Homo-oligomer: A and B are copies of this chain.
Amino acid sequence: MRPSKRAPDQLRAVTLETGVNRYAEGSCLIGFGHTKVLVTASIEESIPGWMRGKGQGWVTAEYGMLPRATHTRGRREAAAGKQTGRTQEIQRLIGRSLRAVVDLKALGERQITLDCDVVQADGGTRTAAITGAWVALRLATQYLLDEGVLKADPIIGQVAAVSCGVFNNVPVLDLDYEEDSNAEADSNFVLTEGGDIVEIQATGEKRGFTRAEFESLYGLAEKGIGELFAFQKAAVGK
């Protein structure tokens, strides 16, 4: 039995509110249960130095967690003077995941930054961030199309993410914090709507886990991400 009483293949309640920031070209507040991530997409008409002159754009992400997003207050990274390894790992993952569905040449020499700030954390913040970031990115590129800045759509696919794990020896979908801290194995799947793998990260936490268990997790992820694609589509109004 899961602490939340959910069925093993059941997502938490997904909420997706768009237009939550009056300045950003795209924004949403995504909830996976009690996990809440505020995502903004910011368009800048310049790109990092190492990208210049290649006739293409860049999509990148930054991730942060408000100090009291968690049960006990964590240290503010800005005050500590650096981002933790965990933060950097997550923001690199978000950036890679989004770039997988963007035609950077079609984007032109501009950069879109996805800021993913966790307002409340109950497990699955990186998968919620990726799922919400696609929505914010979709809205921001739609803005560029609507304004006539872009003629062709640089978004070439849909991407979403979910975590799965082995909890009490049962493969389950979309771990919350209580499950995550006690899982035997933990994994994150980032898949495209076409079913392609963008990223898989699977880690044995308390013990290694078997290939059979891994295949079960993969199946759960395909089911859950399928449902997330529908939430994303509804949010962007298509």
Contact = CB atoms under 8 A, between A and B. Distances in A.
A66 interface: yes
Contact of A73 (B44, B87, B96, B208): B44
A11 interface: no
Interface in A122-152: none
Interface string A40-76: 1010100000000000000000101011111111001
Contact of A62 (B23, B67, B70, B96): B67
A89 B87 contact: no
A145 to B, nearest CB: 20
A100 B208 contact: yes
Interface in A160-215: 185, 187, 191-192, 194-204, 207-211, 214
Contacts of A10: none
B67 A79 contact: no
Given A115-B76, A208-B100, A23 B85 contact: no
B214 A197 contact: yes
A185 B208 contact: no
Contact of A78 (B27, B78, B187): B78
A135 to B, nearest CB: 15
Contact of A76 (B64, B72, B89, B157): B64
A85 B67 CA distance: 20
Given A120-B22, A200-B201, A62 B85 contact: no
A225 to B, nearest CB: 12
Interface in A71-110: 71-73, 76-83, 85-89, 91-92, 96, 100
A155 interface: no
A86 B91 CA distance: 11
Question: Which of A64, A72, A113, A208: most chain B CB closer than 10 A?
Answer: A208
Given A202-B197, A203-B198, A211-B195, A85 B89 contact: yes
12 contacts: A23-B71, A42-B67, A62-B67, A66-B115, A68-B115, A77-B78, A85-B88, A85-B92, A88-B89, A185-B197, A198-B203, A200-B201
